[in-house]
Amino acid sequence: MKIGIIGCGNMGGGMVAQLAGAGMDVSCFDPDMDTRARMQTNGATVFDNVQDMVAGQLVIILSLPKAQIVEAVMVEIAARIETGAIVLDTSTSTPATSQAMAALGQKHGFDFVDGPVSGGPAAANSGTMTMLLAGQPSAIDRLRPVTDVLTAKTVMVGASGAGHAAKIANNMLCAANLVLVAEAVRMCEAAGVAPDGLLEGVNAGSGRSGVSEVNFPKWVLNGAFDSGFTMGLMRKDVGLALELAQQTGVNLDGFAGIADVWLNQSTQIDDSADFNEITRHGAET
């Protein structure tokens, strides 16, 4: 199967390595020359021009930073995509963008599928990501040889746009849990409870979350802060949750204070820092 990947950084690069390792014919485009060079070592055919890269591909995977870039790239390449091809968008985008790109696909004769992913670069490099899929069921079925290589779990969540709505909700909860678990740890430390003991108890009870089970032991308590996902990216996702709530007329009163921590109260933490560093906010007070 011929597969083209656009955006071959931390996540896209892991997908290139997994697909090439599974014997698939993988091509890639990335604007960064150093990244393109690394992809050659991962077994990909590298293109300097995205339009040339997409021609003849049966599956095109997008791994891009934000919705505006997804839309710009799609407008640039739509006329060059093969009739009957599938575009799988693994970026964290917006439901409205996915719906618009699905309509663009109908116009040009290809399918556009939401496929945002969770698990970070480590999961991309090991083929153990979780992928939220939305779009035409027939197109999703045809993607199975690809998603079986890239993921440990796929979840069908609905029609076009539903995948990105679900991913925004997932990251909203992760952002909230990072702040809340950090506060719980500080409260219990002040009461004489060691963080390791607290987390063991929480993770055996109803308060557990991915943050308490994975983030804190893997990246926070040991001071590693090297998950591969940045403060800037999570701040973007927090903003996407607020925008989606506004568009849908849903109040996020419970999340508002946590969003303010991410967007306004933690400006001393640079966008380039690991997103788990938000747990340090408030530690000095």
pLDDT per residue as tens digits for the range 66-117: 999 999 999 999 999 999 999 999 998 999 999 999 999 999 999 999 999 9
Domain 165-280 has CATH 1.10.490.10: no
Do the Cβ atoms of 176 and 258 come closer than 8 Å?
yes
pLDDT per residue as tens digits for the range 267-281: 999 999 999 999 999
Report yes or no on whether pTM surpasses 0.85.
yes
Q: DSSP class of residue 82?
A: P
Give the integer Cα–Cα distance in Å for 58 and 39.
19
Sequence-distant (≥ 6) Cβ neighbours of residue 79 within 8 angstroms: 108
Region 44-73 average pLDDT:
95
Return the closest-CA partner of residue 86 out of 139, 19, 16. 139
Q: At what angle do helices 162-190 and 195-203 cross, to 10 degrees?
A: 130
Q: Which residue numbers are catalytic?
A: 167
Say which CATH class 2-159 falls into: alpha beta
Domain-wise residue ranges, the chain: 2-159, 165-280
Phi, psi (rounded to 5 degrees) for 27: -120, 155
